[in-house]
């Protein structure tokens, strides 16, 4: 049976994607999850159906544009018109930039960047003619301030930023009512830390502060319900955005110190090959290995709407101050004239 609200979540079988799919289901959305790995997909589909909504699990590689197009067509046939599309799937390599192979750079780019491009196109082909819908680009604080050992991922997320801004301007030009939102995420406790390809010989760890995937899911759900241009989740994302805007050279030096902070000096990676080229066919769920360090916050996000309001307020205060300085000599002259007249 088709439902009125239909969402697609790529990378929806674990971590943030799975948390987002379940949050959507709890609000009554029919949900399709796209991912690799049959076991996690089946488990996610069962959870969604247990929440009382129509659900569809589709095994697809987001780097394959034809596969995404076929998945979108199937979703609309079996569930109904897609109202929200969440581009969440990603892949990465933890390694010094010069030790990442050409094939690894290519694959990270295909999944983390082109996967979102292809997903956006598949969604827009359906949303555009209907002139409604919301597309969520799940990005990262590393798109704002890059870190060492993550050149492939940072480059892909930075490319996504350029693509999204360009497309957004095109939607404005054509008068489209389809909304495009970018959600920037901090370090999050997801199973991806256990399945990232890793050349360092040391297990990857999430740098503090670490946040719950469900916090990110709530931010994504809020952006679907009340679309804004950008959303920054977590205090570290906001701090890095401000720091990069004001003092990028200082940010370079701070980022350089993050090399050791991303690695466990006492533990080797459990799956050094990771899931870059082939899925690891298990069911990792939502949470990663850093539960004891997760910040216990339910809401911690800033939207571009609030940012713009603050910017306008600061600009207004600056203008008021400038006008006051400009007016001071005139006012002083008038006061002096009045004093002379009284004499």
Cα–Cα distance between 193 and 203 in angstroms, integer? 8
Active-site residue (options: 105, 113, 153, 184): 153
Cα–Cα distance between 304 and 182 in angstroms, integer? 10
Indicate if 153 belongs to the active site: yes
> Angle at Cα 92 formed by Cα 107 and Cα 133, nearest 5°?
80
Cα–Cα distance between 152 and 154 in angstroms, integer? 6
Phi first, then psi, for residue 323 (nearest 5°) are -65, -40
> Residue 8: helix, strand or coil by DSSP?
strand
Cα–Cα distance between 292 and 129 in angstroms, integer? 47
Cα–Cα distance between 53 and 41 in angstroms, integer? 16
Cα–Cα distance between 61 and 150 in angstroms, integer? 22
Q: Rg for the chain (alpha carbons), in Å?
A: 23
Tokens of 105: 């750079």
**Contact (CB, 8 A) for 17 and 36:** no
- The separation between the first and the last C-alpha atoms of the chain, rounded to the nearest angstrom, is 91
Tokens of 312: 């306008």
CA–CA distances in Å: residue 74 to residues 57, 67, 292, 309, 331: 11, 10, 40, 42, 72
Residues annotated as catalytic are 153
């Amino acid at each position: 049976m088709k439902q009125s609200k239909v969402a697609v979540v790529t990378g929806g079988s674990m971590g943030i994607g799975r948390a987002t799919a379940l949050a959507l289901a709890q609000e009554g959305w029919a949900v399709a999850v796209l991912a690799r790995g049959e076991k996690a997909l089946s488990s996610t589909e069962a959870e969604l159906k247990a929440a009382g909504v129509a659900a569809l699990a589709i095994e697809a590689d987001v780097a394959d544009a034809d596969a995404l197009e076929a998945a979108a067509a199937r979703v609309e046939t079996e569930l109904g018109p897609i109202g929200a599309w969440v581009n969440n799937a990603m892949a990465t390599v933890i390694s010094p930039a010069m030790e990442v192979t050409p094939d690894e750079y290519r694959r990270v780019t295909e999944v983390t960047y082109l996967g979102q491009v292809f997903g956006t196109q598949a969604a827009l082909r359906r949303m555009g003619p209907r002139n409604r819908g919301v597309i969520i680009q799940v990005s990262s604080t590393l798109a704002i301030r890059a870190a060492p050992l993550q050149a492939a991922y940072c480059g892909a997320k930075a490319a996504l930023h350029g693509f999204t801004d360009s497309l957004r301007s095109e939607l404005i030009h054509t008068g489209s009512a389809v909304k495009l939102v970018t959600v920037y995420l901090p370090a999050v406790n997801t199973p991806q830390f256990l399945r990232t390809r890793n050349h360092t010989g040391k297990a990857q760890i999430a740098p503090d502060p670490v946040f719950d995937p469900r916090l990110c899911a709530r931010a994504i759900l809020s952006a679907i319900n009340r679309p804004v241009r950008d959303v920054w989740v977590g205090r570290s994302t906001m701090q890095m955005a401000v720091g990069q805007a004001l003092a990028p050279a200082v940010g370079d030096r701070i980022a350089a110190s993050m090399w050791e902070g991303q690695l466990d000096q006492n533990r080797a990676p459990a799956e050094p090959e990771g899931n870059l080229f082939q899925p690891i066919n298990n069911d990792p769920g939502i949470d990663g290995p850093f539960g004891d360090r997760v910040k216990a916050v339910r809401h911690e996000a800033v939207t571009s709407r609030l940012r713009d309001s603050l910017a306008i307020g600061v600009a207004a205060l600056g203008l008021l101050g400038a006008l006051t300085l400009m007016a001071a000599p005139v006012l002083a002259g008038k006061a002096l004239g009045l004093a002379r007249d009284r004499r």
